Amino acid sequence: QVQLVESGGGLVQAGGSLRLSCVASGRTSNRYAMGWFRQAPGKEREFVAAITLSGGNTDYAESVKGRFTISRDNAKNTVYLQMNSLKPEDTAVYYCAAGSTWDDSSYYTRPSQYAYWGQGTQVTVSS
């Protein structure tokens, strides 16, 4: 079992920045690809960003490319999401997720590929 705890959400004006963190505990010795998803009220959970086990490869949703950056520090069991140039449409609950992998080149973009989820952190962007 892996437990994930997100932090760093909050209220920010459009154009501002936030940095989300996700700390993993439990069976962190296993190999996990990590991802960030978000869910706005009345909408389905959507992919935001993903990163491979070593952090060498990343992927982003088109809506956040060039504005968001995912990174990880395996020594600290932590994944980050740096969010710049935030827009009101980025308002959502942001979730961190971990998916087992045996392949350092794999990252995942579908929620079904992730076995573990955090409780979420609210991000609100005002116009």
Mean pLDDT of the chain: 95
pLDDT, tens only, 105-127: 889 999 999 999 999 999 999 99
Return the beta strands (E) in 17-75 as ranges. 18-26, 32-39, 46-51, 58-60, 68-73
pLDDT, tens only, 5-20: 999 999 999 999 999 9
Beta-ladder partners of 108: none
pLDDT, tens only, 79-97: 999 999 999 999 999 999 9
Beta-ladder partners of 5: 23
Q: What strands lie across the sheet with 18-26, from one edge to the other?
A: 2-7, 18-26, 78-83, 68-73
pLDDT, tens only, 38-72: 999 999 999 999 999 998 999 999 999 999 999 99
